[in-house]
Amino acid sequence: MMKIMANKQRGVSFSGFLMVVVVLIFAAVGGMKILPAYIQNNEIKGIFDTIARDPEMQDAQAKDIRESFAKRAMMNNITVVSPADIEVNKAGGRLVLRISYAVKIPLVGNASLLLEFNTSNSSR
């Protein structure tokens, strides 16, 4: 009778490796679809910060502030919001700009992801 040495196998099986790769691919594709929405939200926040720091805009009317946003948004190719959606307020002598919007991202088939953003220049 031959003695069979039981070797402990280490590592991952091929099927386990494929499952990990499939999960990573889905995560990467999902991330690539979601990332532009977050980049655009960051650009909107940057525009809000720029407008709020502009000394000429401190005493401007809401119409002028929205017009300034529209010009800057057009340069950055921001299409998910319109200037009419912006709330213009003053708090403690500072200009506060807020906007709430949602972005619907199609994932696969009829499955979509809804991202809701509440952006303000005072959220530091």
Structure confidence by residue, pLDDT tens digits, 15-70: 989 999 999 998 998 899 999 999 999 999 999 999 999 999 888 899 999 999 99
pLDDT of residue 121: 86
Going from N- to C-terminal start, the domains of the chain cover 18-120
pLDDT confidence tier of residue 124, bands split at 50, 70 and 90: very low
Q: Is the pLDDT assigned to residue 1 strictly greater than 60?
A: no
Question: pLDDT at position 15, please?
Answer: 92
Angle at CA of residue 116, ends 114 and 119, nearest 5° = 155
Instruction: Tell me the CA distances in angstroms from 99 to 39, 63, 86, 93, one per residue in order.
Output: 16, 15, 5, 20
Q: Check pLDDT > 90 for residue 12.
A: no
First to last CA, the chain: 75
SS3 111: strand
Residue 31 and residue 48 in contact, taking contact as beta carbons nearer than 8 Å:
no
Helix, strand or coil, per DSSP, at residue 90: strand
Which residue do the tokens 């990573």 mark?
24
Model pLDDT for residues 60-84, shown as the tens digit of each residue:
899 999 999 999 999 999 989 999 9
Which residue in 62, 55, 48 sits closest to 98, CA to CA? Answer: 48
- Residues 120/48, Cβ–Cβ less than 8 Å: yes
Q: Which pLDDT does position 9 carry in this prediction?
A: 67
pLDDT grade for 122, boundaries at 50, 70 and 90 = confident
Q: Of 43, 48, 121, 104, which is closest to residue 77 (Cα–Cα)?
A: 43
Instruction: Give dist(CA 33, CA 17) in Å, integer.
Output: 25
